[in-house]
Amino acid sequence: SSRDGLKHCIGIATGSLLWFSWSMEQYDDGFLEEIDVDEQVTSASASIPGDSDWRPAKQGLYDPKYEKDSCGVGMIASLKGEVGRHIVESALQILENLDHRGARGCELDTGDGAGILCGMPDKFMRRVAKEEGFDLPPLRQYAVGNVFLAQEEDGAREGKFIVQDLCSTISGLKLIGWRKVPVHSACLGKTAKNFQPSIEQCFLAAEGPLAEDIRKFEAALYVLRKKAANRASVVAGIPFYICSLSPRVMNYKGMLTCPELSRYYMDLLEEDFESHVALVHSRFSTNTFPAWRRSHPFRYLCHNGEINTIRGNINAMRSREGVMQSDILGAELAECCPVVEGDQADSAIFDNVFELLVLSGRSLPEAVTMMMPQAWEKSSLLSQEVKDYYKYHAAVMEPWDGPALMCFTDGDGVGASLDRNGLRPCRFYVTRDDRLIVSSECGVLPQIKPEDILRKGRLSPGKMFWADFSEGRLVRDKELKERLAGAHPWGKWISEEGLSLDELRKHRGTFGHTSSHNPAMPSRGLPGAAGGVAKSMIAHREFGGRNESVGGQRMPMLRAFGYTQESLELLLLPMGAEGEEALGSMGNDAPLACISEQPRPVFAFFYQLFAQVTNPPIDPIRESVVMSTSCWIGPEQNLLSPPSKQHCKRLWLESPCLMPEEFDTLLHATGIDGWSVRVLDTTFLKSEGAAGLEKQLATLCNLAAQAVSEGSTVLILSDRGVSGSRVQMPSLLCCGAVHQRLVYEKQRLQTALIIDSGEPHEVADHALLLTFGADAVCPYMAYEALLRLRSDGIIPEAVSSDVKLFANYQKAVNKGLLKVMAKMGVSTLQSYKGAQIADAIGLDKDVVQMCFEGISSQLGGLGFEQLAMRTLTVHSRGFSTSGDAPAAYLFAALPNEGQYNWRQGELAEKHINDPLAIAKLQEAARSNSRAAYASFASVHNHLVKGSALRGQLDFKVPRQYGRTPIPLDSVEPAADILKRFRTGAMSYGSISMEAHSTLAVAMNRVGGFSNTGEGGEDPIRYEPMENGDSMKSAIKQVASG
């Protein structure tokens, strides 16, 4: 009777829906039942049999948009470009030897995916075309596409008609026939067969100018494919996916195991199916569901790894669509958008953008260096020319960051590249008969003899090689990069057109800025208007109807922005005094922000994501050479235009944390090289009450979009208009809402977004603002707080100047940002910005949709009005509600809510580790009394209910969901259920020896299984204990890699 409630509890406690199998047997058995968390589930599956893209719909805590994969990759090619059957056979053997890299469900004959991308098998294609009743033009003047269609004849006919109809509208393209691809469906597992598409090949010929220029031919094919996909997407119930459509390469793939690929696709066994190059891929869909279309390879590449910054990369590409123009695609480009295909994993999205770059005229190696640049910023091994090349292209596109091995080909060459951290293996061999063999591990072709190997090695972090078949040799990384670096005067272009803060300082005072603040604050409080850094940045403000001095204004403003004694003493003090982030122990026993009775800031509702399992974090200290907080900001140029110095017309920032003088310099950039600065107010009238926040937020988004349309290249969102009558809007809401609106309008990359706010002060605040779209942050009240600490004599005398004090804070923020980025395996700030690498707990879906579209907030929670009420409460701490503020209130100490240290009192924050609870636990442990333990449990459970999600959970009674209780004698005995208990794989070291061994003893007593974790266990634990217990873990985990 508790089955639904139990699944609800397990799902929330683990952060994901437990899914034991994607087998249709489980599906048919009703395992996918509704989980009542946030919204009602109307369908257990987004797909129906016959659709080649099977997966569950968004439901409970599962959302398919977080799909990623981690896999095995292999590649073989003839360096001379010689076509042969042995290349295909070797590739298929490599694939079978990568079977351990792929995955299966409980059906051993249904795989996560396998595929092969090879050169056009011309001899084979001519034969089968003739069998179908038509002849093919010369090689490179015809294209073949493998198309996934609906199983039903009507659906397949509709998909084919779309291709035929669109083909007739594109000059120079001629559809010459279709061919049903012969497949052996009997080898498929039940799930793969249920969602198997009908697979047909379309043959197209190039005529006129297209027959003379293969780039124009490929552009026409791209337009056809994109238009067809867009049209098919609006026809309900028509599965349609073109695996490849090219005059150079062919793609065979599916929801298969590695050995099944050649058994399923009978073409691959034909003796005249020959090639000079082949890429193979074995898919392990980490935290995802398999599907026919999401199998690798894609149209140019296959990928082993994960793109950690994929959300930001997608948003950036959507924004670029607003300024993209292409000579080769012309007006058709608009009909090819969106560039990024929906409902795909990160690898396919990477391939989408890679394909467009190549189509625009970039070579394959150049496109890879743009999307996966090596660590160049701090490298002492690269020439200045190569560094200039990378810095120039950083102005063109942000890195796609994450562990990655990319193998790629266009049929004329083949290459491979590793991410800047080298977090995926890549081994290669060059044989004496001019074969290049590449794989994610050794031994994939065991018949290769050592004496036949001319050269072997592995790719290093950020390195690449490329084999151009016309040259007949392997071009190594150094030569390749030097070629690219010598193609244009990248450094000269940067020096001529690139801007820096030093360049802006030369023009300071010559130009002004445009303000869209409310009439009450045209310039008050903006640095520069108050005389720069020498004076307080707040200067004089309205407070309770009077003007107060700098000293009198600072404390109430700090209170109004939510600062506490702990904020200053625990967090800001070490940042200002030593340039270091405060140290603290692991764990947080304070309530979640959505449950807390204290008015916590919006920042506190978010939790940074972190790397897991196959996606390792980075050590920001020992691996600092690969990390960077420097990047370009400001309007981008057309991504698809040929390289020019115009792409450098951006501003280079060394740090996203702006010191007061740097912000002042940027504020006065209007008129310099066409730059225009617009300041937008982020406060709302207190008289409007809780409804004012959402209303003013919508107005802010409209003003931002209008400002960009009018040519503003820098938007500053500033809350310096805070006063007794005006309340600050949460800076994270403002940042996220404006960023999302500009992405929607395809304007985001036409401007820089600067947050000028008194609210952010912690490193996490900066990180959240940046990951949700900000380019830089000026935390002016944090600097005010540091000035307060120094005036109180708390900061050492050695930090005597404002510049030193603020520089220490900036240094601490930079180091903290690197640490936060490293947890998710992200190396560069440019990738981290806008990547939305955080999830919310306790925010309403309306807030998420407007301000943080694309992130997870699975439980719902507070809406705009509730957040506004909290903001008004904090604001009232600094500004009295009656309009006058007695001196005692003005100069009162900052509150101490006890967020980090337990404090007594009703206004203090609760903590699970309450002194009373600890005393009760000690009493129970010492007395071994059930009554004492029950007393502890009562106190502890009450604290948990007010602090954690698990305290909010309860089982529904049967009548609430219309079920009849199951008789107790129909349920397994508790002893049998306990045998299926498992502990997590916690390594010794992550918990103490006592805790680790106690878990093992407990599991052994009940017949369950404990796990050693990758740290293993001491052999002494293999020996039985004196009382007969055993500390031996039943599950032995071996460290991987």
Tally the residues of the chain.
Answer: 1041
DSSP 52: S
Report the alpha-carbon distance of residue 775 to residue 656 in Å, rounded. Answer: 7
**Could you give the strand order of the β-sheet that contains 464-468, starting from the edge strand earlier in sequence?**
301-305, 404-409, 413-418, 464-468, 473-475
Helix (H) or strand (E) holding 4: helix 3-14
Question: How distant is the alpha carbon of residue 646 from its chain centre?
Answer: 29
Smallest Cα–Cα separation from 871: which of 719, 765, 716, 679?
Answer: 719
| Token pair listed for 235 | 């026809």
Question: What are the b/e assignments for 831-865, b being 16+ CB within 10 Å?
Answer: bbbbbbbbbbbbbbeebbebbbbebbbbbbbbbbe
Give just the sign of the alpha carbon dihedral 799, 802, 807, 808. positive
Give just the sign of the alpha carbon dihedral 870, 872, 877, 881. negative
∠ at Cα 455 (452, 461), nearest 5°? 145
CA gyration radius for the chain?
31
Report the alpha-carbon distance of residue 715 to residue 682 in Å, rounded. Answer: 12
Residue bearing tokens 């009602």:
40
Do 867 and 594 touch, CB atoms closer than 8 A?
no
Provide the residue type at 361 as one letter: G
Residues in CB range of 797: below 8 A, 6 or more apart: none
Helix (H) or strand (E) holding 755: strand 752-757
Torsion of CA 818, 821, 826, 830, to 10 degrees: -70
Whether 167 is catalytic is no
Look at residue 435 and give its three-state secondary structure.
strand
Do 14 and 949 touch, CB atoms closer than 8 A?
no
Report the alpha-carbon distance of residue 298 to residue 238 in Å, rounded. Answer: 21
Residues in CB range of 308: below 8 A, 6 or more apart: 401, 402, 611, 615, 824, 825, 826, 831, 835, 837
Question: How distant is the alpha carbon of residue 528 from its chain centre?
Answer: 38
Report the alpha-carbon distance of residue 914 to residue 904 in Å, rounded. Answer: 10
Do 710 and 670 touch, CB atoms closer than 8 A?
no
DSSP 684: E
Look at residue 112 and give its three-state secondary structure.
coil
Report the alpha-carbon distance of residue 315 to residue 305 in Å, rounded. Answer: 21
Report the alpha-carbon distance of residue 8 to residue 3 in Å, rounded. Answer: 9
Report the alpha-carbon distance of residue 854 to residue 848 in Å, rounded. Answer: 8
DSSP 370: H
| Token pair listed for 334 | 């608009």
Helix spans in 133-268 (H): 153-167, 190-194, 209-212, 214-233, 260-264
Do 911 and 590 touch, CB atoms closer than 8 A?
yes
For 114-158, give the DSSP string: EEEEEE--HHHHHHHHHHHT----STTSEEEEEEEE-SSHHHHHH
Residues in CB range of 919: below 8 A, 6 or more apart: none
∠ at Cα 817 (812, 823), nearest 5°? 130
The catalytic residue among 71, 118, 302, 648 is 71
Catalytic residue ranges: 71
